[in-house]
Amino acid sequence: MRLRNNSKRKHLCGRPDPYSGSDEQFEKHLALIVLAALWILPGDIHAATFTWNLDADGNWNVNGNWNHGGIPNGASHDAVLGNIITAPRIITLGQDIVVGSLTANSAIAYSITGNTLSLNTSGGSDLTQSGAGALTINSGLKINSNMIFAGDGAGLVTVNGVLSDASGNTLTKNGEFTIVLNNNNTLGGGITLNAGTLRLGHDSAAGTGTFTLNGGTIEASGGARVISVSSTIGGNFSIGGSSGLTLSGAMSLGSSTRTVTVNNTADTTFSGVLSGSGGFTKSGTGLLILSQANTFSGATTVSGGTLSIAAQNALASTASLTLSSGGTLLLDAATGSRVNDSAALTLNGGTLSSASFSETFGGLTLAADSTITLGAGGTAGTLTFASGTRTGGRLTIQNWSGLAQNGGTDDRIFISSDPGADFLGAVDFSGYASGASYLSSGEIVPLPETEEYMITAALALLCGTAFRLHRCSRMRDATTTNFPLAG
């Protein structure tokens, strides 16, 4: 509603009204007065940046400890812990505090203790670490809306207080800085890791919502950890550290191939069901154990370290397997089939380790110098392949035992159809002559040494065979193996 123009308006003190004139002029003057009044009002009416201004331990609630002439305690107040300090300092919250954001850009460490510090989104990053000094939050830390923690500072951020939320809010971790969560957190909206390092210092450090892994590195901190919340693997990520880490909740790969780089020097275990139509690549030097019957249907690749399949049906639905240079697939479960029996296996520089267990695969392709390590002693196992093809390299088979040109006496390898001379000629059984024979049973075995081979061949002719060398093994065994060659 427009104010009426009244040229005879009087000042309250009886003097002429200085704002007499048109309604438009009066409204403009009134608007300016209102804006000026709002600016000088205390509290959360306007955004303000407060920078810590004391080179000593101090209380958050003391006006003189901040450069703004007040204290940061409002949803649009931004608190900055800067370089004024010359030694590590402790800031005590005299009451529960709410700020829009918290920034640490100091070269020296700050600690916050007492009560609860709440963060309200104000756009951009809500907690930023851009300094080399550590930031330790011993107070409770509450997020009142979906939050972003970011920054590339070298200073470690440690949250020892309980991390909570107002109503199912999410926490997204960006930037290369490292954050440690050390408490039984109640954050319900889930944590998303996009970059940097997240250290988990409690089994419930990830809260109760979905743990989304789009990038960055996770580590167990302060000892072995079991993280039970469900996970979504939305990108390639790493697992580091030196303590055991188990992800026991359901894990979804989605429809894309995801790479997990494991450089943890202790065991890492996925004991939740790994699902999705995407593929899975294990890289890094560490050990990753799959201890659950998984359902993902994409290809499996091991390009570094060891992938241990330690449960029946651990790779029951995988479309194919590739073992690249530096990568080992370890059969590590006592009973049942672990791998999809029709999944083709490509040896592209990697190692298949049977550990005396039996397993059936689809076709075997030798693409580069690779190794099959059989178990030595214990219950004999068998590796069975539908076919054998060579596109390059040589295959070394370790720990085979038995008499050359005869079936093995411990772990054995069978190929359902004759792989042909090119494949057999590229097989080396450790401790035996180069090359392999394909027996009528489908087993591949070492060739005998040249002298033994000639003796056995002569005995085979005496037996009246069509040079089927293995059929005269009993007669050969009855003769001396030191029979001299003519000439």
* Domain residue extents for the chain: 1-41
Nearest to 113 by CA among 155, 73, 159: 159
In this structure, of 39-53, 207-221, 287-301, the range with the lowest mean pLDDT score is: 39-53
Predicted TM-score of the model (pTM): 0.84
| Distance (Å, whole) CA 399 – CA 374 | 5
Q: Mind listing the pLDDT tens digit for each residue in 137-156?
A: 999 999 999 999 999 999 99
Residue 254 · residue 232 · CB < 8 Å = yes
Residue 374 · residue 355 · CB < 8 Å = no
CB within 8 Å of 69: residues ≥ 6 apart: 63
Q: Say what the pLDDT of residue 25 is.
A: 62
**To the nearest whole percent, how much of the chain has pLDDT over 90?**
79
Above 60 in pLDDT, residue 189?
yes
| Distance (Å, whole) CA 479 – CA 87 | 87
Q: Say what the pLDDT of residue 159 is.
A: 98
Residue 179 · residue 197 · CB < 8 Å = yes
Mean pLDDT of 171-199: 98
Q: Say what the pLDDT of residue 252 is.
A: 98
Residue 413 · residue 383 · CB < 8 Å = yes
Above 70 in pLDDT, residue 352?
yes
Specify the 3-state DSSP secondary structure of 299.
coil
Distances (CA, A) of 326 to 286, 361, 364: 11, 21, 18
| Greater model confidence, 367 or 483 | 367
Strands 327-331 and 351-353 come out as parallel
Q: Mind listing the pLDDT tens digit for each residue in 42-53?
A: 444 447 999 999
Q: Say what the pLDDT of residue 298 is.
A: 98
Residue 18 banded pLDDT, cuts 50, 70, 90: very low
| Distance (Å, whole) CA 202 – CA 15 | 72
Residue 244 banded pLDDT, cuts 50, 70, 90: very high
Mean pLDDT of 459-485: 41
CB within 8 Å of 157: residues ≥ 6 apart: 104, 127, 129, 134, 135, 136, 137, 149, 177, 178, 179, 180
Residue 468 banded pLDDT, cuts 50, 70, 90: very low
State both tokens at 460: 């085979």
Q: Say what the pLDDT of residue 378 is.
A: 83
Average pLDDT, the chain: 88
Q: Say what the pLDDT of residue 368 is.
A: 98
| Distance (Å, whole) CA 346 – CA 390 | 10
